[in-house]
Amino acid sequence: MGSVKDLKILSNPKEDKPGRGRFFFSDRYSVFDYGVMPDKIEGKGKALCLVSAYFFEKAEKMGFKTHYLGLVEEGKICRLNELSEAVDTMEVKLYRVIKPIKNELGYDYSLIKNAKKNYLIPLEIIYRNVLPEGSSVFKRLKNGSLSLSQIGLDHYPKPGEKLEKPILDVSTKLESEDRYITWEEAKEISGLSDDELNNLKSLTLEMDNIISLEVEKLGIENLDGKFEFALDENRELVFIDAIGTPDECRFSINSVQISKEVIRKYYRKTDWYKTIEKLKSLDNNWREKAKPPKLPADLLNVVSNMYKAFCNEVTGIKFFDVDKLSKVVKELLEVVEKYDI
């Protein structure tokens, strides 16, 4: 399936009918588009599975369409509050993945544009409520690939700046590396109409707000995040993949990010990161040329506890035997200071 989830197909999607499958959320993680990193974060897979289920179930109660069918415990489909223990498996509807064809000019999306229904939209939709340190916005503004007018700002933002209203951004989903694109290109490659694209944006803002309000109750801020969508058998927009997790979103508590950002910061200080940044523009096989080092044990342990504590607090169910998130964050700060990240 990918670097962090595996997929078992129970029935294949058809042109006019969704299939059925199971996601297995793993303890693997990925940064900088590298793929599977050398460590595993214990408990991460189950934590992400349960948090995503929580937000899918919340979304369904509020009338949003999703591909979520339930969680799997001992072979049975159940809801979050029916579980006897943490699980890492989710059953979902599956939609056709129609891949663009790579050629000398880039990517040909003709097959997707000609599809009528029941397919994955080849986009990632990003919302930004805050521009935290490490946001790609700063890098893109600096290199000129993004302008202030494109994101509706009248001034150059500062790291940590809270925005008056969310910024929406869009990138490709099915290319070898994610690529930020304009909304006009997004409409063109996805086969969406103007109304469908506007609806996509509206759904993103609404779900952003739902997640923000939920975590706000816990003293957590929703900084930014991403969603993926499909068009179902009735050509209606459906939330897919996972939503509301620390891998799909960046959260913070007391200005400390609850996300993979602490791992990214650690790796940004390594020779490996400097090497791959040079190689990316020179060699399509850059992943084979530089292997990442393993994480220090104490950093790996506190990140594991961060995922598990976040899950306990968001779901309101103590699935994991860990300290409260506020205490874990203090431990995280100590490790951050130790490694100067």
First to last CA, the chain: 31
Count of other CB atoms within 10 angstroms of residue 182: 10
Predicted local distance difference test score (pLDDT) of residue 152: 84
Output the six-digit token pair for 245. Answer: 């997790």
pLDDT digits (tens, 9 = 90+) for 258-281: 988 899 999 999 999 999 999 988
Mean pLDDT of the chain: 94
User: pLDDT category, 13, cuts 50, 70, 90?
Assistant: very high
CA–CA dist 126, 146 (Å, integer): 15
User: pLDDT category, 4, cuts 50, 70, 90?
Assistant: confident
Closest CA to 203 of 226, 172, 233: 226
Predicted local distance difference test score (pLDDT) of residue 271: 95
pLDDT digits (tens, 9 = 90+) for 302-315: 999 999 999 999 99
Predicted local distance difference test score (pLDDT) of residue 1: 55
pTM above 0.85?
yes
Output the six-digit token pair for 292. Answer: 């990442």
pLDDT digits (tens, 9 = 90+) for 123-154: 999 999 999 877 889 989 999 999 998 888 88
Count of other CB atoms within 10 angstroms of residue 38: 10
Predicted local distance difference test score (pLDDT) of residue 2: 67
Residue type at 21 in one-letter notation? G
Predicted local distance difference test score (pLDDT) of residue 297: 96
Predicted local distance difference test score (pLDDT) of residue 276: 93
pLDDT digits (tens, 9 = 90+) for 161-201: 899 999 999 999 999 888 999 999 999 999 999 999 999 99
Predicted local distance difference test score (pLDDT) of residue 173: 95
> Please, are residues 242 and 48 in contact by the beta-carbon 8 Å criterion?
yes
pLDDT value at 40 more than 70? yes
- Per CATH, the architecture of 5-338 is what? 2-Layer Sandwich (3.30)
**Comparing 28 with 2, which gets the higher pLDDT?**
28
User: pLDDT category, 3, cuts 50, 70, 90?
Assistant: confident
Q: Mean pLDDT, to the nearest integer, of 315-323? A: 97
**Comparing 242 with 2, which gets the higher pLDDT?**
242
